[in-house]
């Protein structure tokens, strides 16, 4: 679909290189750079301005700029985009420069930026620089600090970044629709001193949620709580990039939350410390050792750890957030013997399946007809079988021989001999139970299947 478009984009990028140094070029709108691939692009090393250590945006990219008399000029284009959530499902979203989330913007503390925003959406928009201290008129609140950017118009934001941090950008215009359609991006301000807070790998991603009916492709933007796709950078497991590192690397993970609920992000393996919040770096004496850090709505968190070899799961700890569409609103059938019922239903509906009477784990490996353009509720296969995950789940893959700067998926971890949980094959005797613990019909309690709201 986009070959022709990509060609013109590539041609545009070349033209930018040729004109950026001329006065005519400097007085014009910077060429907009586009990226439609959901694959992680290599960190963008700065070729002008102060040096910094670039971040790695999961399933994303960073926006190139041009230097104009000491000012970094970026060009954001708000527009409809198509985003693949994972192989097998694409969504019609709104985003920036070909992708949702939009490209990560990376600058250095003290930089002056000029950001051109062109609106190619069917309705007006603005850009708010979330958590960045800017002159009031640059704050991007439509109606309050500026007129809205009408479709087809371009506005210019210009400000200086006073301090390092992990921030975001998103519209402050028809927010309910525009953020539910995927309009958001990360804004990273690196320390002026390249050695300050230095890490070997610096990953960033945004939490976003969508409600897309199985078989359709456009989010239901009026949804308030009951989303069915919980995403990192508008991707769900098994479509989310692994966080790849080398043993001993100092690794930072920066997370921003633009969903409508909090997400306790949990990492297996090495303990981490929260080293930055929305307000900047946390002084070493105030850092908490943690294995789960809650990221509330509108917040940013950054944590750091020393990488230890293995395949360590990293995920939101709300169980429904590691599941894709179709898993919600299913009654609890555990313990229900519905064989007789199934026989009778099969006469009416030949494809009817008995599900869930022993739990839902079968869903992880089941080959089941799905509507077009949706994903199984839990999926993914690891070296030992089905992983039964979805949504906000990925793997921190740490290897002894991963080369510095190499983010390629190294495959599954090879566990040293004798370090994997194994089956016990000896004799099993009847467990000794206290008399009162013996199951009887008297102490059984019947709970009826019930729904759940607001997970």
Residue 263 near Cu ion by CB under 5 A? yes
Asked if residues 188 and 106 have their Cβ atoms less than 8 Å apart, the reply is yes
Residue 315 near Cu ion by CB under 5 A? no
Of 220, 318, 328, 338, the residue at the interface with Cu ion (CB under 5 A) is 318
By beta-carbon proximity to Cu ion, the closer residue of 172 and 263 is: 263
By beta-carbon proximity to Cu ion, the closer residue of 172 and 321 is: 321
By beta-carbon proximity to Cu ion, the closer residue of 200 and 211 is: 211
- Which listed range, 137-145, 319-327, 405-413, 446-454, lies at the site for Cu ion (CB under 5 A)? 319-327
CA distance 81 to 79: 6
- Which listed range, 137-145, 240-248, 310-318, 330-338, lies at the site for Cu ion (CB under 5 A)? 310-318
Residue 66 near Cu ion by CB under 5 A? no
Minimum distance from CB of 266 to Cu ion (Å)? 10
Residue 172 near Cu ion by CB under 5 A? no
By beta-carbon proximity to Cu ion, the closer residue of 56 and 316 is: 316
Q: Where are the alpha helices (DSSP H) in 258-352?
A: 339-348
- CA distance readout (Å), 224 to 60, 70, 293, 324: 27, 44, 24, 18
CA distance 254 to 232: 12
Residue 328 near Cu ion by CB under 5 A? no
User: From start to end of 278-336, where are the E strands?
Assistant: 280-281, 289-290, 292-295, 300-306, 310-316
Residue 71, strand partner residues = 68, 112
Residue 305, strand partner residues = 251
By beta-carbon proximity to Cu ion, the closer residue of 163 and 318 is: 318
CA distance 280 to 278: 6
Residue 396 near Cu ion by CB under 5 A? no
Of 75, 124, 254, 321, the residue at the interface with Cu ion (CB under 5 A) is 321
- Which listed range, 32-40, 120-128, 259-267, 437-445, lies at the site for Cu ion (CB under 5 A)? 259-267
- Residues with Cβ < 8 Å from 334, sequence gap 6 or more? 356, 357, 358, 359
By beta-carbon proximity to Cu ion, the closer residue of 192 and 318 is: 318
Work out whether the CA dihedral 63, 232, 157, 54 comes out positive or negative: negative
User: Which is nearest to 245 in space by CA: 338, 307, 303, 296?
Assistant: 307
What number of chain residues touch Cu ion (CB under 5 A)? 4
By beta-carbon proximity to Cu ion, the closer residue of 68 and 261 is: 261
- Applying CB under 5 A, the residues found at the interface with Cu ion are 263, 316, 318, 321
């Amino acid at each position: 679909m986009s070959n022709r478009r990509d060609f013109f984009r590539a041609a545009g990028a070349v033209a930018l290189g040729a004109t950026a140094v001329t006065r005519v070029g400097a007085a014009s709108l910077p060429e907009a750079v586009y990226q439609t691939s959901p694959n992680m692009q290599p960190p963008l090393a700065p070729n002008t301005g102060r040096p910094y250590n670039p971040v790695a945006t999961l399933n994303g990219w960073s926006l190139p700029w041009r230097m104009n008399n000491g000012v970094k000029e970026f060009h954001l284009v708000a527009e409809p985009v198509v985003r693949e959530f994972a192989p097998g499902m694409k969504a019609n979203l709104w985003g920036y420069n070909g992708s949702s989330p939009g490209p990560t913007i990376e600058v250095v503390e003290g930089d002056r930026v000029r950001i051109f925003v062109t609106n190619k959406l069917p309705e007006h928009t603005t850009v708010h620089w979330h958590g960045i201290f800017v002159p009031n008129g640059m704050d991007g609140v439509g109606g309050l600090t500026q007129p809205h950017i009408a479709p087809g118009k371009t506005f210019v934001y210009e400000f200086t970044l006073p301090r390092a941090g992990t921030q975001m950008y998103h519209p402050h215009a028809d927010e309910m629709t525009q953020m539910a359609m995927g309009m958001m991006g990360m804004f990273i301000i690196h320390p002026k001193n390249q050695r300050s807070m230095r890490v070997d790998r610096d990953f960033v991603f945004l939490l976003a949620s969508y409600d897309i009916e199985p078989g359709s492709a456009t989010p239901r933007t009026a949804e308030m709580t009951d989303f069915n796709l919980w995403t990192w950078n508008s991707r769900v497991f098994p479509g989310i990039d692994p966080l790849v590192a080398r043993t001993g690397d100092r690794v930072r993970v920066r997370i921003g939350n633009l969903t409508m609920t909090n997400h306790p992000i949990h990492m297996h393996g090495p303990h981490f410390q929260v080293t930055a919040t929305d307000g900047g770096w946390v002084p070493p004496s105030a850092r908490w050792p943690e294995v789960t850090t809650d990221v509330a709505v509108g917040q940013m968190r950054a944590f750091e750890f020393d990488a230890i070899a293995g395949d360590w799961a990293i995920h939101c700890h709300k169980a429904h957030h590691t599941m894709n569409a179709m898993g919600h609103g299913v009654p609890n059938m555990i313990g229900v013997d519905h064989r007789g019922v199934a026989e009778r239903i099969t006469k009416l509906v030949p494809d009817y399946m008995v599900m869930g009477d022993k739990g839902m784990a079968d869903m992880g490996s089941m080959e089941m007809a799905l509507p077009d353009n949706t994903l199984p509720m839990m999926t993914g296969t690891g070296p030992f079988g089905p992983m039964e995950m979805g949504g906000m789940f990925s793997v921190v893959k740490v290897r002894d021989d991963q080369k510095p700067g190499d983010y390629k998926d190294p495959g599954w971890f090879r566990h040293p001999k004798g370090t994997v949980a194994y089956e016990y094959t000896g004799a099993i005797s009847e467990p000794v139970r206290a008399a009162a613990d013996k199951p009887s019909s008297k102490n059984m309690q019947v709970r009826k299947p019930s729904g759940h709201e607001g997970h």
